Structure 1
Amino acid sequence: MSQHFKETPHNAISDSHIARVIPCKQLNMSDPFKWLVLALRDAQRAPVLTLFFGVVFAAIPWFITYLVQLTGWHLVIMPAIVCFILIGPFLAAGLYDVSWELEKNHVPSLWHSIKAIKRNAVNEWALGILLMVLMIFWLRIASVIHALYPPYLDENWENLLPFLAVGTVVGAGFTLLVFFISAFTQPILMERKVDLATAVLTSMHAVWTNKAPMMLWAFIILMSVLIGFATWFIGFVFLMPLIGYATWHGYIDTIETKRQRHFE
């Protein structure tokens, strides 16, 4: 765990009167890679659950692609990638539970992971609704971008490039916003009895305080998603559980506690 501490800076997030903000630690650029090493260890200790959640994460983009083939709307691929990133943090609750159980030297189970969403049910479902609203909003914007594509143009690379560029820029903005909002929100809600506003503002504060290492972590997540799509979703079977486990270790490493954790 990173042992470098930093005083909470005065900014709009930490000074918020909406909710309290849990202090965070200062991270190093090497920390995201440490989280991945710990995640790999978790995957080796719980191979069956890792495979199960990996298949679930692979099935979601497969279904999205199937819908694309039915509709013939190829420009939906980029919105689909963004939607996958939007809903990922909420769906990863089961993976966080697996890492948490392993950290406590318990034997993780599928049923225990499924029940993870009930620990702080109201606020966790509120997070899911928030991410869903953002996803719907993004899809509406993506529809507008698609509607601007002239129907008389052939769908070749030269004609598609301007629209893909616009969609990529807008999608990157949405992805960055969601990353700030949800980087550690779900783990916070799972472990602590806090409200959604506190969890979201704490996540935003942690990302803002550790811009460089957290942007590196965001880049790793993005590359994992792109690799997953490039390998026709096979990569998701391994990469998404790894990202989920690593996120939990990132949360443990980043968000402070009043008392040191003593896992039994």
Structure 2
Amino acid sequence: MTKQFEETPDSVIEKSGISRVIPCREIELSDPIKWLSLGVQDFRAAPMLSIFYGLLFALIPWTITYLVAMTGWHIVIMPALVCFMLLGPFLAAGLYDVSWELEKGHSPSIWHSLKALKRNAVNEWAFGLMLMLIMIFWLRVASLLHALYPAYLDPSLSNILPFLLVGTGVGALFTGLVFLLTAFTQPILMERQVDLATAVLTSINAVWLNKVPMLVWSAIIFTSVAIGFVTGFIGFIVLMPLIGYASWHAYIDCIETKRQRNYI
């Protein structure tokens, strides 16, 4: 069970030691499994909407792969990924709206979920731009590491192992940073009229307070994405809505609210 705060939200914010942050709760190690279970319930309650958003998430990597295969222009990967980083948060907001509507006992609809995309549009776009800048910097670092690999070396395991280890380490650092910054940022922006800095700082605080359970949750997300790629992106049709719904329940569990939530 999550640990509830007794103080009012304002007093907890003042005592948190971090300015401009919404207070959070400590969660249990098993909670990520509970989030997945609730995500499955939401998927079953809105199967058509779930498939609709799942197809959108699958269509993007399908389109990127198709363009590269048809044109041979690997340069299209960069702008395509930029577009995905900008549009991804809006697609996720639609999934969160479905779970939120189910929580309130309403019947979710495509139109209502699409309207959720403009609820905090300025900060949503700012969030997308932040993700895009991080991604561009990540790609630049990866290109630099590739450029440092001596062209004259044979591509044997012993020769490329140091570069693989360095690349894996850098990738892990970037992945951890992105997860820290974004784990709860999107649902906060969608439900609350707060600025991007408040949402990001709240996400950092919540993840840092719940390091071990959030490590389990990040492993579940990574495994789901890996399955999606292994299945030629078909797995995204089911897995991305499931992860989206579960992320909403993670947000409800982790971030303190002014009133009791009645869904879990």
* 1:102–1:234 Cα change, 3 Å: same
Q: Say what the alpha-carbon RMSD is for the aligned residues.
A: 3.0
Q: What displacement does 1:14 show?
A: 3.8
Equivalence for 2:178: 178
Q: Which residue number in structure 2 is paired with residue 53 of structure 1?
A: 53
1:210-221 → structure 2 map (5 Å cutoff): 210-221=210-221
Pair 1:138–1:14, CA change in 2 (3 A): farther
User: 1-side partners of 2:203 and 2:115: how far apart?
Assistant: 23
Which position in structure 2 is the counterpart of 1:144? 144
Alignment match, 2:117: 117
Contact 2:86/2:128 (8 A) holds in 1: no
TM-superposed deviation, 1:253: 1.0
* 1:16 matches 2:15: no
**8 Å CA contact retained: 1:39, 1:246:** yes
What is the count of residue pairs matched by the alignment?
Answer: 251
Q: 2: CA distance between counterparts of 1:154 and 1:87?
A: 41
Q: 1:21 to 1:7 in 2, by over 3 A?
A: farther
Q: Where do residues 130-209 of structure 1 align in structure 2 (5 Å cutoff)?
A: 130-151=130-151, 161-209=161-209
> Would you say the 8 A contact 1:87–1:131 is kept in 2?
no
- What are the within-5 Å matches in structure 2 for residues 222-237 of structure 1? 222-237=222-237
Please list every run of 5 or more consecutive structure 2 residues that lacks an aligned counterpart in the other structure.
none
* Change beyond 3 A, Cα 1:108–1:24: same
Q: Secondary structure at the match of 1:92?
A: helix
C-alpha displacement of 1:127: 0.8
- For structure 1, which segment, 121-130 or 28-37, has the greater mean C-alpha deviation from structure 2 after superposition? 121-130
The two structures have a TM-score, normalised by structure 2, of 0.83
- Post-superposition shift, 1:90? 5.2
Contact 1:89 1:183 in 2 (8 A): no
**Offset from partner CA, 1:101-128 (integer Å, 9 cap, x none):** 1111212122222221211111111111
- Output the amino acid matched with 1:118: K
**Cα–Cα, structure 1 residues 243 and 84, in superposed 2: closer, same or farther, change >3 Å?**
farther
187-196 vs 138-147, which moves further: 138-147
